[in-house]
Structure 1
Amino acid sequence: MTSPASEEPRPAVPYGTPDAPRIAVRGEAHLEIDPEIARIGITVSARGKDRRSALDDLTRRNAAVLDLVKSYGSSVERLETGHFSITPELTQRGRGERVRSYHGQVHVTAELSDFTALGELTTRLADLELTRVDGPWWALRPDSPVHRDARQQAVREAVQRAREYAEALGTTLAALVELADTGAENAEPYQRTAGRMRPMAAYGTEAEDTAAPLDLEPQKQHVYAQVNARFTMTPPRL
């Protein structure tokens, strides 16, 4: 006796039926807000005729940079050393290779939330000997509630748009069938930022007079969210 073949589940119908017509809409949100943090890159350099003198100078200058940044206390949320190098520079003349000098670099990244302190710190760093400053890069924190607000606004916009379609047909929404991020398989971050300050550099001795703090205008951040939504609605009378 053979057992009856098991019934395979039917695939979901991507469209509605006369008894349960569907509405497919997209909800979008675009928020423009002030940044929450700013990052700057600091590159400290040193040169010497021998490895030890280059390393000693680099150690001294790096310590001065770190002490200066740390002196701003809670205004600095993060301070990290990202790269260190000591490189010999060879002579270009002669048959044999000779080391002419050594070049050392340390790259430091600082993240600040106080933008008033940022302008002052950036100016003081640029005044230091053989120190380069890049940035700032304005951003939002990864866990900023702004991202949640944008997603919720996109959902509300999708519901409102679907209701307007249903009202145009003289009916109402019945149920939510599907809600998904746009491009959920290959999602991109919601936050899109651009722009930076031109790099500044100081390659002489430390200035005797303190330069006036830079007046940095925070760049607006643009946060986007998109969702696709499908609803069923009560069959309209056409």
Structure 2
Amino acid sequence: MTHDARTETVNDGPPVPYGTPEVPRVAVRGEARIEVDPEIARIAISVSARGTDRRSALEDLTRRNAAALDLVKSYGEAVEKLETGTFSITPELTRHGRGERIRAYHGRVHLSAELGDFTVLGELTTRLADLELTRVEGPWWALRPDSPAHGEARRQAVREAVQRAGEYAGALGSSLAALVELADLGAENVAPVALAAPGGTMRAMAYDGGAEESAPALDLEPQRQTVYACVNARFTMTPPVL
């Protein structure tokens, strides 16, 4: 009689996610909020025209659009970005007997500008609003995507997580042993938190027959931005004596 020699493999299973009595874990969240000055300001510009026929509306719109673009470009490097958005020519219909006929044409072009030099912002917005049939909205204050403020907030959040975990361990008479995991807030499918406070807005509108002298520049005070960072961290600690 023969016997088959069999080898059995012992499966220890996945590691215990919450630690063991010998290697306890502590999980914390580190948060940081810092306030910094904005780095850029965005404004929206809408140029309009109205004519009794399509050609005259297009010609007026082209002229006013060129005037707005030339004015913004005259500020040179202070304007970091200038873009044209949507353009439209819309007929205005009116009742004529049993039918309808075109009464006029309305044209509109939307522009957006981004400035990094706030010293010229008030003057530029005032001069734009002083143009014919031109509407200005903004400014919307913001930070650049690569702003050092974001990195500083993240570093503060990590330091806060380490300090909080150390305080929990210290309350048990233990100390931190090792970092097990460090996760960004969005890495664990947690609802994101707004990173910056919304910027204030300024609205202005000017129509045909503007003032002969240019209007005084607006005094626009930059709105400080709140940068938020959050991390989840897990540490192992020495076994406490309970």
Place the TM-score, normalised by the shorter chain, in its bin: over 0.9
d(CA) in 1 for partners of 2:94 and 2:13?
A: 76
Q: Which residue matches 2:65?
A: 62
Does the alignment pair 1:84 with 2:87? Answer: yes
The answer for unaligned runs of 5 or more in structure 1 is none
Higher mean alpha-carbon deviation, 12-21 vs 139-148, is at 12-21
- Distance (Å, rounded) in 2 between the aligned partners of 1:157 and 1:90: 64
Aligned-residue sequence identity (percent) comes to 70
Query: In structure 1, what is the equivalent of residue 222 of structure 2?
Result: 218
Q: Does 2:241 match 1:208?
A: no
Match of 2:107 in 1: 104
Amino acid of the structure 1 residue aligned with 2:216: A
User: Given the two structures, how large is their TM-score scaled by the length of structure 2?
Assistant: 0.92
Match for residue 51 of structure 1? 54
Greater mean alpha carbon deviation, residues 169-178 or residues 212-221: 169-178
Aligned residue for 1:237?
Answer: 241
Quote the offset at 1:91 in angstroms.
Answer: 1.1
Structure-2 change in CA distance of 1:14 and 1:206 (3 Å): same
1:161 & 1:92 partners in 2: Cα distance?
A: 72
Residue correspondences, number: 238
- Name the counterpart of 2:149: 146
CA distance in 2, matches of 1:50, 1:5: 90
CA distance in 2, matches of 1:4, 1:112: 73
Please say which of residues 19-28 and 204-213 is displaced more in the overlay.
Answer: 204-213
Q: Using structure 1 for the length normalisation, give the TM-score.
A: 0.93
- Cα distance in 2, alignment partners of residues 4 and 49 from structure 1: 94
Structure 2: runs of 5 or more not aligned:
none
Q: Which residue of 2 aligns with 1:157?
A: 160
Contact (CA 8 Å) 2:161, 2:231: kept in 1 or not? Answer: yes
Please name the residue that 1:127 is paired with: 130
Q: Which amino acid aligns with 2:234?
A: R
Q: CA shift at 1:164, angstroms?
A: 1.5
CA RMSD in angstroms, aligned pairs only: 2.0
- Structure number with bigger Rg: 2
1:124–1:210 contact (8 Å) kept in structure 2: yes
